[in-house]
Amino acid sequence: MPPFRAEHMGSLLRPQNLLTVREAIRDKGLSPEEAGLPAIEKEAVGNVIKLQQELGFKAVNSGEFNRTRFWGLMWDEFDGTVALQEAEASMFRLYHPDVVSLIEKDRKVMPGDSVIAGSKLKHNRETSKSNLHELKLVQQFVPEEEWKNIKLTMITPAWFHMRYKQGKAYAEGVYENDEEYFQDVAKVYQEELKMLYEAGLRNVQFDDPGLAYFCSPEFRSGYASDPENTVPIEDLLDSYITLYNNSLSLLPSDLHTGVHLCRGNFIGGRHFASGAYDVIAQKLFTELNVNTFYLEYDTQRAGGFEPLQYLPKNKNVVLGVVSTKLRELESKEELKRRVEEAVGWIAKGSGESREEAFKRVAISPQCGFSTHESGYPLSEEDQRAKLRLVREVADEIWGEA
């Protein structure tokens, strides 16, 4: 079962012909079929899976080639959601790291694609197609006996809620309060995961920059000074953990779940926030019911490994110690030293031997290589070198997949 000793976080650099076709669809008004997208997308996904297989990665995925942004179209496909075109700034937490970084100053406000609940949220198998399409596309290039290793990345259930002011994640009158809203979000995720499990999914990774933003002093300060917030920030974190746990509550035991925390990895290698895990680690690691934590750890922006002492014995950690923002290759010896340091803190907190703690650790790049489809500082050769480095270091530490 996942996680494997060498992992990567999902998004990979798109080939130019795929970017060109998507540009034609956007700019010329062509349908995907008129532009030739299905064939080009399939070829690109096949090639990127071959790359992962050649480099020795077990948890292969689509590279997120089916998406423009890492969160994809999943939320757009739920019944009840409304995509925002021009939104008032008063809807948003203007201290939320994504909103701060992506707001367009000459418009009202639009931090990337954004949706709210315009009516009650419901899952609809007729319209919830993008994740299923992505999974089935990957399955075409993987032997059936290895389908269980395929990793599908999925946006956190709290993604849109966190960027909006309190009570603004849904239109007026749709929900009485956040608790009612979260109940429907959990039901929608339960149904989506059930559908994907029936199609063969056994490995899901939730991408959640928002959890890492709770580590940001700037976000915490902004939240505390916002007079519209009637819920303390620790209660907000509690509500998100509960939302996750409810969303995952009906899953079969053989579906591996993980959550990836990141402080931003956008066009040009930008990050959005800083702050160590210390402030959330004990609560997050002990109360969030996932199997694995995929943690950004490539710079001092994420702090030290001390918070790993709170990792329970039944959970794993994947250390994101390789940068996807900087082209320079990390030192193998330094990476090994850092893994050793992390293992020491895990063993100290759990009372395990170092040998036992090592069994619950893996390594990866800090984030994806292309969380938006274009504009990243690494080349395809840089990406290959980084992935090869992860695989080689994992082999030299553990000697297994």
pLDDT tens for each residue of 167-222: 999 999 999 999 999 999 999 999 999 999 999 999 999 999 999 999 999 999 99
DSSP3 helix / strand / coil % (the chain, rounded to 5): 45, 15, 40
CA atoms 307, 308, 314, 319: torsion sign: positive
**CA pair distance 219, 38, nearest whole angstrom:** 41
Residue 263: predicted pLDDT: 79
Identity of residue 56: G
Residue 264: predicted pLDDT: 65
**CA pair distance 231, 234, nearest whole angstrom:** 8
Residue 271: predicted pLDDT: 57
Q: How many residues belong to the chain? A: 401
**CA pair distance 122, 105, nearest whole angstrom:** 34
For residues 153 and 201, the answer to whether their CB atoms sit within 8 Å is: no
Beta-carbon contacts of 304 under 8 Å, excluding residues fewer than 6 positions away, are 276
Give tens-digit pLDDT for 330-387.
Answer: 999 999 999 999 999 999 999 999 999 999 999 999 999 998 887 678 999 999 999 9
Q: What is the mean pLDDT of each run of 10 residues along the chain (401 residues)?
A: 95 95 92 96 98 98 93 95 82 84 55 85 97 98 98 96 95 97 98 98 96 94 96 97 98 97 68 82 98 92 93 98 93 97 98 96 95 84 97 94 62
**CA pair distance 297, 319, nearest whole angstrom:** 6
Closest CA to 317 of 236, 401, 259: 259
Residue 300: predicted pLDDT: 83
Residue 270: predicted pLDDT: 56
Residue with tokens 């899901």: 204
Residue 372: predicted pLDDT: 84
